[in-house]
Amino acid sequence: MTLAETVATTREALTANPAAGQATFRANTDLVGLTEVDVRVRGHRFKADEPESLGGTDVAANPVEYVLAALGACHAITYRVWGEHLGIGFDDVQIRVEGDIDVRGFFGVDDAVRPGVSDIRVAATLRGTEPLERYEELHRQVEEHCPVQDMLTGSVNVKAELTVEG
């Protein structure tokens, strides 16, 4: 089955049975070093860490960098999926993502400074031969349907609980 067929079949199935759209994704993280973290997502394993400038051991990207990477990857994949859905072909797409943060928030130096990234810039460069207005339409659909962009621009309900074992 091509990706366009998968998208069409999935849309039909979700229209017929809206409850089938519900899904839960999971990740497990384990602090295994000073700031080194082992991550498991289904069968996939990777690491996170902090750069040495923030006191870490830099064996991998840090959590904020993973969020920026996730946003870029989400844009890239959404270009593909919505391109297939709308019949808009392209040769390739590259995404650069930058995020500005004031680390005084994380370190608790000033409570008025938020701990996270305040501003993100996403620059996509797409190569293809369709009319420009088709790619501009695709870009609009990507902005509207990219899950990670929605999670960053909107608000997600996060509930965190701690269990202590002696």
Backbone angles phi, psi at 38, to 5 degrees: -90, 135
Q: How far is the CB of 9 from a copy of itself (least distance, A)?
A: 9
Of 66, 87, 88, 89, the one binding a copy of itself (CB under 8 A) is: 66
- Which of 87, 88, 89, 126: binder of a copy of itself (CB under 8 A)? 126
The least CB distance from residue 87 to a copy of itself, in Å, is 14
H or E stretch at 78: helix 63-86
* Minimum distance from residue 131 beta carbon to a copy of itself (Å): 10
Judged by CB under 8 A, does residue 139 bind a copy of itself?
A: yes
Half-sphere exposure of residue 164: CA atoms within 13 angstroms, side-chain side: 1
Distance CA 23, CA 26 (A): 10
Residue with Cβ nearer a copy of itself (87 or 132): 132
Q: Which H helix or E strand runs over 32?
A: none
| Tally of CA atoms within 13 A in the half-sphere of 116 that contains its CB | 10
Instruction: For residue 145, state whether it binds a copy of itself (rule: CB under 8 A).
Output: yes
Least distance between a copy of itself and beta carbon 103 (Å): 5
List Cα–Cα distances, 119 to 99, 106, 147, in angstroms: 6, 16, 18
- The binder of a copy of itself chosen from 51, 87, 88, 89 (CB under 8 A): 51
